[in-house]
Amino acid sequence: MIIIFWIVVSYLVIVWIGLRLIVPNLGFKKQALPETIPAELTGVIQKLNTESKDDLEYLTKAYTFITSKYRGGRIKTITNFWVAFQDPIIRPAGFLPCTSQNYLLRLILVKSGRFKDSDIEIRVIPLNLFIHQYLRVRVGEKTIAVDPWSAFWGVPLGKKSAFVG
């Protein structure tokens, strides 16, 4: 019984504290957004802004942009862990960890001028098999769960994965 206790304590210390201190965008507070962004991303933001009639539609289009370009994957999160340490702004399409997808989505939302950083809350799922992060975005009077990493599992906008994210 003592061994199980120490395994659980070790897991909590390593995952809930250790990883959150070293993995970019997974910390205990929001990482600052850059002042300037590449022209290509600025163009995407302007296009989405022009095509959207309101903030909810903008959020939906931004979410679709992220989920069409990047995907999650539990095995890839483990086997390609170094991707979490790379600059997500310049990553090509393909696998991207939840922390990086959320950072990019947050960047797109804030740089649009439609959302303030205070409208976006970063959440970490408790008691998860692996540490997993999603966003809660305030749109008007509603708060919407946004988990682009989990889209590859069929989790839609407005929902989040739980326990195995």
Helix (H, G, I), strand (E, B) or coil at 69: helix
Q: Residue 165 pLDDT > 60, yes or no? A: no
Among 103, 94, 105, residue whose Cα is nearest residue 72 = 94
* Of the candidates 99, 88, 97, the residue with the CA atom closest to the CA atom of residue 41: 88
- H helix count then E strand count, the chain: 6, 5
E strand or H helix at 134, and its extent? Answer: strand 133-139
What mean pLDDT is predicted for residues 101-129?
91
The span from the CA of 58 to the CA of 109, in Å, is 8
3-state helix, strand, coil in the chain (%, to 5): 50, 15, 35
Percent of the chain, pLDDT > 70?
95
Higher pLDDT, 126 or 90: 90
Q: Which amino acid is at 55?
A: D
Read off the pLDDT of each residue in 20-37 and give the average, rounded to a whole number.
84
Q: Whole-angstrom Cα distance, residue 42 to residue 111? A: 8
Q: First CA to last CA across the chain, in angstroms?
A: 28
- 117 half-sphere exposure, CB direction, 13 A CA radius: 10
Indicate whether 164 pLDDT > 60: no
Residue 18 confidence class, pLDDT cut points 50, 70, 90: confident
Fold (topology level) of 29-153: C8orf32 fold (3.10.620)
pTM of the model: 0.88
Backbone angles phi, psi at 28, to 5 degrees: -85, -5
Lowest mean pLDDT among 38-42, 51-55, 58-62, 124-128: 124-128
At CA 121, angle to CA 9 and CA 102, rounded to 5?
85
Higher confidence at residue 46 or residue 128?
46
> Mind listing the pLDDT tens digit for each residue in 138-150?
999 999 999 999 9
pLDDT at 125: 81
- The pLDDT of residue 153 is 86
CA distance linking residue 6 with residue 126, whole number of Å = 19
**What would the two tokens of residue 157 be?**
């906008």
